[in-house]
Structure 1
């Protein structure tokens, strides 16, 4: 059960039902909103507790139940949960523990070695060198210590690498990304494996065009073969389903760092612009829907046209039958003895009328022709009796 059942969305000036909203929220929408809320929490809050009107954040349980929550350092609230550890203590334990791990140290060293041999970069490759703020306000200068800092040989562009081996708080991710963005350095998050079920992976991915870079055994092997940094990029590829809706799947490609692009607005590196792919798939879906619609309309038009032609043919047939219904049927005179009793001039007159007959098969009106002893229609050859 979610403790916070209603939230005030400041930008929309309305209260939402937290249960209904989160249950209907798609994965990508959830992570994008989660990042936006965390970024703006201190300066321009997006979501507020509907009881105490303090900024709240989006979180989830290990079972992936999503919920809105107060931050640990917020003021008291009737619905707020508490813990024995502060947010700073938890953050320090997890993030510092990650930094001191064996996998992190070894991975960081390996990446630095590959960057030094990569002709794409200068020789200035540093491990955990202090990266100071370029344009400080006042006397104090902020700083960060990235796992690896490098510089492109072509344009002296600064690139920093952060190796991620365990979960990290979202505000730590945002803080580092904002710092490097403000100081004109492009950040590349690198994982040792791909774990799409972890929030840290998805927090970083959805904030970077759904791209994740992994340095696993395959990437390491390719890097050593090519004597340069090669990564495995996972990205969320959209595609059209049979039901003409859009779906997504994670796919991967081995990429040389020279194949990556640089997002000037976010100061991040990426391989595939998945939003552009999504637009293409949406267009594909709309084009297919239009094609099927036009195809159905054409089928309907042809069907209506066939029905109309059939109705018009029947009307013509009915009209002919009504028009010539008064014509005598030759059968009724076949064995009539009164013909012989009539005067010759009368017979001659009737013969002239009988020269024009109606064919009951093709409804032709005209003079029949003789074929031996038979009298047949001059159009269709049907025997006229």
Structure 2
């Protein structure tokens, strides 16, 4: 088995070869800068949409867009509503082009002789070139050597079973255990229209189209090769003199498969290119997707990404938990109404910097803002199940203090009691029922959308971080208040 690392973008003899895992690039000058997504009805920024895909993924999107072009197109031009499809320039930068252009749309994407037209002329000129004939002959030799295959024919017309008027003429066709097979030699100018038309035809015939190349260099890939590679689970099939001789020697049809193998590189994926001599009938077949492959790149890569995501999530959870603990521990230990020590100032500066890295601004000094002090006193008290920051004896007193002096934090305090499962402590201390009555009053006020106990928007990010999941609940309360007819204009004064 041969193995070599996948390369980054290379430009050899004018061809640009792109790292499959890098993000795709839009063309610099776009005639069509937005497209209409026919499924969602939304307008998509073309640059953002193209740049959101890895190169390997966008190639798959490009094929899917072209396959659906004549039926239910995925995208249309927002100006003229003509279906559009994805193409690439010679630098493998992508853009959208009209399916039909009559000059009525300001976006002019087609010219008298397009790149596709030139490729089409080259394609028809190369079909009977010497390399094409040679590879076709090698496929025939390989199939004829294996008694498991029958009905082997060269350049025989294939009429559609559903519509006799539709026909194709594959380079080679045969019958095997997998069903009917059509082999096509992939030329350097086999452009996407040819690929899509043949895939659709043989899928409808419940047959399998197999694209075969005579050679493959992962460091020198044309876009036409990428169209086949990334829609075939990153596998390319080769038939050459070596594979044909081996097929004849073993009386079993063999091909050489070049494929990508994903490997973990820290918190990312890297690729290794490998090649193996494999039995053709041991490949995995997917008739509906018109592909056959040896190595399941997609599943392997998905498993690695899942493991990376799980580790990143676990690390983030641990880091967030540690930062929450640091802030609560600081608040429990801090000396109130006293000049903080140098150590306390340094600790606070570190905590403040860590929160800033998460987009949460804490006061320059922990005691500089009374509202912040009250919020932290309330949340820390709810967490500890005892008063923190105020000289109270019972937790229920903290609730009354916040409701009286800092009503904007009472909802957060109530959610904190639930979050830290200390609500029973307050209920046990509420011997007169005053807190129960007050809590009901507060709840009804919030349900009506009254502004009296609404939180301040500038405290939501901190509350949401310290009490995961609570931020959205508080946002719903604020949205309800905004939509309450009697409160229009009231919230702006808070």
TM-score, normalisation: structure 2: 0.54
- Structure 1 equivalent of residue 125 of structure 2: 97
Aligned equivalent of 2:210, options 184, 188, 199: 188
Aligned equivalent of 1:66, options 94, 98, 105: 94
Greater helix share, structure number: 2
Cα deviations by residue, 1:117-165 (Å, 9 ceiling, x for unpaired) = 113312x2100111110122xxx5211100000111x47x111111112
Q: What secondary structure, in the 3-state scheme, does the structure 2 residue paired with 1:62 have?
A: coil
Cα deviations by residue, 1:264-283 (Å, 9 ceiling, x for unpaired) = 42243222222221232133
Cα–Cα, structure 1 residues 75 and 257, in superposed 2: closer, same or farther, change >3 Å? same
Q: What secondary structure, in the 3-state scheme, does the structure 1 residue paired with 2:92 have?
A: coil
Cα–Cα, structure 1 residues 16 and 222, in superposed 2: closer, same or farther, change >3 Å? same
Aligned pairs for 1:315-330 within 5 A: none
- Structure 2 equivalent of residue 34 of structure 1: 62
Cα deviations by residue, 1:205-259 (Å, 9 ceiling, x for unpaired) = 22222221122454345335434332121223222221x2234343322211122
- Structure 2 equivalent of residue 377 of structure 1: none
- Structure 2 equivalent of residue 148 of structure 1: 172
Q: What secondary structure, in the 3-state scheme, does the structure 2 residue paired with 1:125 have?
A: strand
TM-score, normalisation: structure 1: 0.68
- Structure 2 equivalent of residue 135 of structure 1: 162
- Structure 2 equivalent of residue 275 of structure 1: 298
Distance (whole Å) between structure 2 residues aligned to residue 9 and residue 53 of structure 1: 11
Q: What secondary structure, in the 3-state scheme, does the structure 1 residue paired with 2:210 have?
A: strand
- Structure 1 equivalent of residue 362 of structure 2: none
Distance (whole Å) between structure 2 residues aligned to residue 186 and residue 81 of structure 1: 34
Q: What secondary structure, in the 3-state scheme, does the structure 1 residue paired with 2:278 have?
A: strand
Cα–Cα, structure 1 residues 16 and 295, in superposed 2: closer, same or farther, change >3 Å? closer
Contact (CA 8 Å) 1:7, 1:47: kept in 2 or not? yes
- Structure 1 equivalent of residue 189 of structure 2: 167
Cα deviations by residue, 1:76-134 (Å, 9 ceiling, x for unpaired) = 22221443337895464122112111100111012101200113312x21001111101
- Structure 2 equivalent of residue 367 of structure 1: none
The structure with the largest alpha-carbon Rg is: 1
Q: What secondary structure, in the 3-state scheme, does the structure 2 residue paired with 1:159 have?
A: strand
Cα–Cα, structure 1 residues 296 and 7, in superposed 2: closer, same or farther, change >3 Å? closer
Distance (whole Å) between structure 1 residues aligned to residue 89 and residue 309 of structure 2: 38
Structure scoring higher RCO (CA < 8 A, sep ≥ 6) equals 2
Question: How far apart are residue 25 of structure 1 and its match?
Answer: 2.9
Q: What secondary structure, in the 3-state scheme, does the structure 2 residue paired with 1:168 have?
A: coil
Q: Identify the range of structure 1 (84-93 vs 101-110) with the bigger mean alpha-carbon deviation.
A: 84-93
Q: What secondary structure, in the 3-state scheme, does the structure 2 residue paired with 1:119 have?
A: coil
Matched, 1:13 2:41: yes
Question: How far apart are residue 191 of structure 1 and its match?
Answer: 0.9
Cα–Cα, structure 1 residues 290 and 218, in superposed 2: closer, same or farther, change >3 Å? farther
Distance (whole Å) between structure 1 residues aligned to residue 317 and residue 206 of structure 2: 51
Q: Identify the range of structure 1 (97-106 vs 281-290) with the bigger mean alpha-carbon deviation.
A: 281-290
Aligned equivalent of 1:110, options 128, 138, 142: 138
Distance (whole Å) between structure 1 residues aligned to residue 159 and residue 87 of structure 2: 32
Structure 1: 5+ residue stretches without partners: 301-385
Contact (CA 8 Å) 1:184, 1:267: kept in 2 or not? no
Contact (CA 8 Å) 1:167, 1:199: kept in 2 or not? no
- Structure 2 equivalent of residue 205 of structure 1: 229
Q: What secondary structure, in the 3-state scheme, does the structure 2 residue paired with 1:239 have?
A: strand
Contact (CA 8 Å) 2:229, 2:236: kept in 1 or not? yes
Question: How far apart are residue 55 of structure 1 and its match?
Answer: 1.0
Aligned equivalent of 1:177, options 199, 210, 214: 199
- Structure 2 equivalent of residue 315 of structure 1: none
Q: Identify the range of structure 1 (61-70 vs 85-94) with the bigger mean alpha-carbon deviation.
A: 85-94
Aligned equivalent of 1:119, options 126, 141, 147: 147
Contact (CA 8 Å) 1:195, 1:201: kept in 2 or not? no
- Structure 2 equivalent of residue 229 of structure 1: 253
Question: How far apart are residue 29 of structure 1 and its match?
Answer: 2.2
Contact (CA 8 Å) 2:37, 2:44: kept in 1 or not? yes
Contact (CA 8 Å) 1:118, 1:227: kept in 2 or not? yes
Structure 2: 5+ residue stretches without partners: 1-28, 324-494
Please provide the CA RMSD for this pair: 3.2
Q: Identify the range of structure 1 (216-225 vs 157-166) with the bigger mean alpha-carbon deviation.
A: 216-225
